[in-house]
Amino acid sequence: MDNLKFNLPHGYGVQQLVDELAGHYPVKKEEPLAEKLAFYDTFDWRLYQAGLMLSESAGELCLSQLATHQILQRQKITPLPVFVKDFPDSQLKEQLAPILEMRALLLLVEIQTHSTPYRILNQDEKTVAWLVFEEIKPAGGKEAAGQVWVKPVRGYPKELQQVANHLQIIGCSPAEKDAYLLALEAVGRQPGDYSAKLNIRLDPQLRADEATKVILRFLLNVMKRNEPYVKKDVDPEFLHDFRVAVRRTRSALSQIKNVFPAETTDRFKQDFARIGRLSNDLRDLDVYLLAEDTYRAMLPDILRNSITPLFNYLREKRAEARQKVVAGLNAPEYARVLHDWEAFLAEPPLDSPSAGNAALPIIQLAQDRIYKRYRRIVKSGRQILENTADEQLHALRIEGKKLRYLLEFFAGLFPADEIETLLKQLKRLQDNLGHFNDLCVQEQYLLNVVEELPLNGPSARKTLLAVGGLIGSLDQQRQRVKGEFAKTFTAFASASNRALFQKLFAPEKKEVAE
Amino acid sequence: MKTLAIYSNKGGVGKTAAAVNLSYLAAQAGARTLICDLDPQSSATYYFRIKPKLKAKARGFTKVGRQIENSIKGTDYQNLDLLPADLSHRKLDITFDHLKRSKHRLEKILEPLQDEYDFIILDSPSTINLLAVNIINAVDYVFVPLIPTTLSVRTHAQLLAFCKKHHYNPRKIHPFFSMVDRRKKLHRELMASMSEEFQGVLQNPIPYSSVIERMGLAREPVAVFAPRSAAATAYGNLWAEITERVFLAGQ
């Protein structure tokens, strides 16, 4: 059974509560315990989303269930590593690795707790439940908050329930939040307040220009939240999320057609294209460096270490690329674009907008855009099935990405489970096309980088061999991925999927301007 | 995960006291520990103030699974749980005899609990029958309390013969001295000769002590109600020898 936590009745002290209970059960006080606790999670709340919390006290890390505080793993690690790859091998590492992946652990909040345990005994003076009075104080917070926990002893569920019922009779109310959540609240953080996923609620009847601004404001917020961490270089996902938001912004500007004046759209499309380009090199290098272990594993044993000079070189290049990005983000040009953009998004809607689709209800425009994009993909895909050229696969990937963004922007307008189905299908296709594209780009990149790779010493030739080996391995993969396209696409263009697209998006009447 | 039995084919040699105190020490050191009381006399269960009763369907250990897990009780100490004794344990022998793979029933019962605990410690009744076979089959280590008397030498020789007959690895068996009275010359002499005669005898003896007898009144491990007693120290030393010598040698 879960731990049960309660707030004391107003004006009630813990001693009063214990006295009250002592009328029904023998109660025995134990030594109080003072503890300093620090809580960690990733920027996008991966542990919280997985129903977990990670705390540290006196150098000991403790992973527990969020809901029950049941301890899953504990381990002494000092100092605490930022990345899971730097943890010593252990069950804790195994459990964290698939959740945290490449993300950095950030300190969220520190608290002081002072807890006094009381044993609830039966007639044999056996402990059948625990009552723990816990006072918590967030570091830098003003007030301490007090809570009472009823904690179970295995095998005594009836007694636990009796004590919990008693507390409610006395007037204790069940507490929604535990120390962790209260502490987060005290420092102004809300769990789940950042997610890389789009979650935009739109009223279907909202004017298209207004609705588009809602989407764009959401994306601007993602950029602004990630930007400081991009500059600090905390982990590569900050840049990734930042770039995705920029790309989605550009996509929204060109995909959601005729909702703003053309010159405004054009200007910002160019501005955001420049901002995107700023970090192209850095992102590419991040991708190669994140895949370092995978690349090494592709090579035969005898060449596995010979690839090291390549990665050392990429790391040097990354340092340069990073400086370029930081300089770009600190430049007045970037600040000006963001300022103008924010001002534009804050403008009230025009009474008589010039753009043809501005005053349409957003649902109508969304349906039109998605349906057209879907049909175009099916048509292009069918042509590729007959004659597969790499360039066409690349073009199809871009089309697919546009459709995916549209579906994500407007997901809130349609039944969640159906959108989910479509996105899942599309994701399978995009994964295939994306993988194919990555492999093409990587092969080409390695071929180019060899030209500039500074090579000297006796192992230089071996390094070249290793790069060659890598290209060979990537090329084999590329052929295989290409071979899977037909099956993946046929699944995407299936009759049932088509019926769903038709049902959700097919137009009843045509009055949308191109 | 390690499984241990405190076992002897002789009664009144300090099995339950050892099982209770060693389990407590294991749990105190941070290991998730389960003590299983297989003795129908239910002394270990009594020491932990728990009622000697299993869930109806867990009785006789005829079925594996939830009913066994639901019968487990938390003790008053962190990390330490107990699977209580039950009157039906009197007939475990006969019950097992009627089941398939009758020599491995206990192993099967403990299997699902292995992920949950670092140590499973069995407190067994004095017996040398099918239940004994089950116990020895189920565990990694058998710890045998020996009182330094001539009669004990005989019973231990019997146990070793029994193991030989069933092809058990004698290295599984680790005798330790129990209820030792150092003032008796005979005890000292026998301890020396038994250490020579039998393999792997542990060198930290448990003394004969009124503190250990008081466990029945206190209903707590000696380290809880008499932490500075010679008995508490002796169990501490024995557990240290077991973790440092026996477990490490096994790896």
- Is A119 an 8 Å CB contact of chain B? yes
Q: Is the pLDDT of residue A511 over 80?
A: no
Helix (H) / strand (E) containing A72: strand A71-76
Residue B145 is predicted with a pLDDT of: 96
- Is A123 an 8 Å CB contact of chain B? no
Q: Is the pLDDT of residue A203 over 90?
A: yes
Radius of gyration of chain B measured on its C-alpha atoms: 17
Query: Is A154 within 8 Å of B73 when comparing Cβ atoms?
Result: yes
Q: Is the pLDDT of residue A494 over 70?
A: yes
Question: Of B49, B70, B81, which is closest to A125 when you measure between CB atoms?
Answer: B49
Tokens in use for A23?
Answer: 């009328």
> How far apart, in Å, are the Cα atoms of A388 and each of A283, A475, A488?
29, 16, 14
pLDDT grade, residue A386 (50/70/90)?
confident
Is the ipTM of this structure higher than 0.90?
no
Calculate how close chain A gets to B212, using CA atoms only, in Å: 20
Residue type, A59: G
Measured between beta carbons, which residues in chain A are less than 8 angstroms from residue B72? 154-155
pLDDT of A319-360, one tens digit each? Answer: 999 999 999 999 999 999 999 999 999 999 888 888 889 999
Mean pLDDT of chain A: 91
Q: Testing the interface with B: which of A121, A123, A124, A158 to mutate, by most B Cβ within 10 A?
A: A124
Residue A140 is predicted with a pLDDT of: 66
Q: What is the 3 state secondary structure string of A363-424?
A: HHHHHHHHHHHHHHHHHHHHHHHHCCCHHHHHHHHHHHHHHHHHHHHCHHHCCHHHHHHHHH
Measured between beta carbons, which residues in chain B are less than 8 angstroms from residue A125? 49, 219
- Is A31 an 8 Å CB contact of chain B? no
Closest chain B residue by Cα to residue A127: B76
Residue B59 is predicted with a pLDDT of: 86
Residue with tokens 């004969």: B208
Closest chain B residue by Cα to residue A120: B76
Asked if B215 contacts B221 with a C-beta cutoff of 8 angstroms, the reply is yes
Over residues A95-109, mean pLDDT: 95
Question: Of A119, A125, A155, which is closest to B73 when you measure between CB atoms?
Answer: A155
Residue A509 is predicted with a pLDDT of: 52
> How far apart, in Å, are the Cα atoms of A375 and each of A379, A381, A425?
6, 10, 15
Calpha distance A284→A288 (Å, rounded)? 6
- Collapsing DSSP to helix, strand or coil, A309 comes out as helix
Measured between beta carbons, which residues in chain A are less than 8 angstroms from residue B48? 126
pLDDT of A218-255, one tens digit each? Answer: 999 999 999 999 999 999 999 999 999 999 999 999 99
Q: Percent of chain A, pLDDT > 90?
A: 72
Over residues B149-156, mean pLDDT: 90
Residue A206 is predicted with a pLDDT of: 95
Residue A143 is predicted with a pLDDT of: 67
Q: What is the DSSP string of A126-168?
A: -EEEEEEEEEEEETT-S--EEEEEEEE-TT-HHHHHHHHHHHH
Over residues A53-65, mean pLDDT: 93
Using CB atoms within 10 Å of the CB of residue A409, give its burial: 0 to 12 exposed, 13 to 18 middle, 19+ buried: buried
Query: Is B72 within 8 Å of A154 when comparing Cβ atoms?
Result: yes
Query: Is B76 within 8 Å of A127 when comparing Cβ atoms?
Result: yes
Residue type, B8: S
Instruction: Report CA A357 to chain centroid distance, whole Å.
Output: 33
Measured between beta carbons, which residues in chain A are less than 8 angstroms from residue B74? 127, 152-156
- Of B225, B11, B224, B230, the closest CA to residue B124 belongs to B11
Q: Testing the interface with B: which of A126, A151, A153 to mutate, by most B Cβ within 10 A?
A: A126
Residue A1 is predicted with a pLDDT of: 44
Residue with tokens 């009594």: B46
Q: Percent of chain B, pLDDT > 70?
A: 99
Calpha distance A234→A83 (Å, rounded)? 10
Residue A326 is predicted with a pLDDT of: 97
pLDDT of B49-69, one tens digit each? Answer: 999 999 888 888 877 778 889
pLDDT of A412-439, one tens digit each? Answer: 999 999 999 999 999 999 999 999 999 9
Beta bridge partners of B73: B82
Phi first, then psi: give them for residue A155, nearest 5 degrees.
90, 5
